[in-house]
Amino acid sequence: MDEGTWNRLTPEQQSAVRSLTTRFIKAVQSSEASDGWDFSQKYSVQQSGAAYVISNGIKPLAGISHPDKQVMVALMTDAVQNYGR
């Protein structure tokens, strides 16, 4: 994750990102996207009940949700910037 995105998060949000990172990387790699740009075109942060998810509009990434939208935005940003690295 780029330093700017990381530093905009509170310590609690940073902890949440850390707790989701391993599952998130696997979920992104299992998506039908081919790179970061493709991921950004197919997926977005969306509200699902009391939580936020990253979804292609039909199906959210499995096991990746959080009640704080900024946590999900940070993960989405990281996927777009670093997909395949």
Q: Which pLDDT value is given to residue 85?
A: 62
- State how far Cα 35 lies from the chain centre: 14
Collapsing DSSP to helix, strand or coil, 53 comes out as strand
Q: Which pLDDT value is given to residue 18?
A: 96
Whether residue 84 is predicted with pLDDT greater than 70 in this model: the reply is no
Q: Which pLDDT value is given to residue 83?
A: 83
Q: What is the residue extent of each domain of the chain? A: 3-82
Whether residue 74 is predicted with pLDDT greater than 90 in this model: the reply is yes
- Residues 6+ positions from 66 with CB-CB distance below 8 Å: 16, 20, 51, 52, 72
18-72 per-position pLDDT tens digit: 999 999 999 999 998 999 999 999 999 999 999 999 999 999 999 999 999 999 9
CA dihedral 58, 25, 52, 33 (to 10 degrees): -30
Sheet holding 51-55, edge to edge: 44-48, 51-55, 60-66
